[in-house]
Amino acid sequence: MSDLAELEKQALAELNSSSDETGLRAWHSKYFGKHGAIPAAVKKVSEVPPAERRAYGQEANRIKEGLIKAYEERQQKQSETQLARELQSDALDVTLPGRPIRRGRLHVATQDMRRITAIFADMGFQVYRSREVEDDLTNFELLNMPPHHPARDMWDTFHTTTGGVLLRTHTSPGQIHVMRECCPKPIRVILPGMCFRYEAITTRSEIMFQQVEGLAVGENVSMTDLKGTITAFARRLFGNDRKVRIRSSYFPFTEPSIEVDMDCLVCAGKGCSLCKGTGWLEIMGAGMVHPVVLKNGGYDPSRFSGFAFGMGVQRISMLLYGIDDIRYFWANDLRFLNQF
Ligand code: PHE
pLDDT, tens digit, 9 for 90 and up, residues 241-275 = 889 999 999 999 999 999 999 988 888 889 888 78
**Atom number in ligand 1 closest to CA 211:** 4
What is the percent of the chain where pLDDT is above 70? 100
Give the burial string for 27-59 (b: 16+ CB within 10 Å, else e). Answer: bbeebbeeeeebeebbeeeeeeeeeeeeebeeb
Whether residue 1 has pLDDT greater than 80: no
Cα 244 to Cα 283: distance, rounded to the nearest angstrom: 9
For 64-116, write each residue's pLDDT tens digit. 999 999 999 999 998 898 899 888 888 888 888 889 998 889 999 999 999 99
Query: In whole numbers, what is the pLDDT of the chain averaged over residues?
Result: 93
How does residue 286 score in pLDDT terms, banded at 50, 70 and 90? very high
Does residue 251 line the site of ligand 1, with CB under 6 A? yes
Whether residue 52 has pLDDT greater than 90: no
How does residue 135 score in pLDDT terms, banded at 50, 70 and 90? very high
Does residue 252 line the site of ligand 1, with CB under 6 A? no
**Atom number in ligand 1 closest to CA 215:** 9
Whether residue 190 has pLDDT greater than 80: yes
Residues near 161 by Cβ (< 8 Å), separated by ≥ 6? none
250: amino acid identity, one letter: Y
Does residue 312 line the site of ligand 1, with CB under 6 A? no
Does residue 258 line the site of ligand 1, with CB under 6 A? no
Q: How far is the CA of 188 from the centre of ligand 1 (A)?
A: 16
Residue 336: its pLDDT value, please? 96
Does residue 214 line the site of ligand 1, with CB under 6 A? no
Radius of gyration of the chain (CA): 43
Does residue 139 line the site of ligand 1, with CB under 6 A? no
Average pLDDT over residues 282-308: 97
Give the 3-state secondary structure of 216-263. Answer: EEECCCCHHHHHHHHHHHHHHHHCCCCCEEEEEECCCCEEEEEEEEEE
What is the percent of the chain where pLDDT is above 90? 68
Whether residue 126 has pLDDT greater than 90: yes
Kindly report the protein residue whose alpha carbon is nearest to atom 7 of ligand 1: 310
Q: How far is the CA of 285 from the centre of ligand 1 (A)?
A: 5
Kindly report the protein residue whose alpha carbon is nearest to atom 6 of ligand 1: 310
Residue 252: its pLDDT value, please? 97
Residue 94: its pLDDT value, please? 85
Does residue 172 line the site of ligand 1, with CB under 6 A? yes
Is pTM beyond 0.75? Reply is no
Does residue 297 line the site of ligand 1, with CB under 6 A? no
User: How many CB atoms neighbour CB 304 within 10 A?
Assistant: 23
Whether residue 139 has pLDDT greater than 80: yes
Residue 103: its pLDDT value, please? 86
Chain Cα centroid distance, residue 311: 26
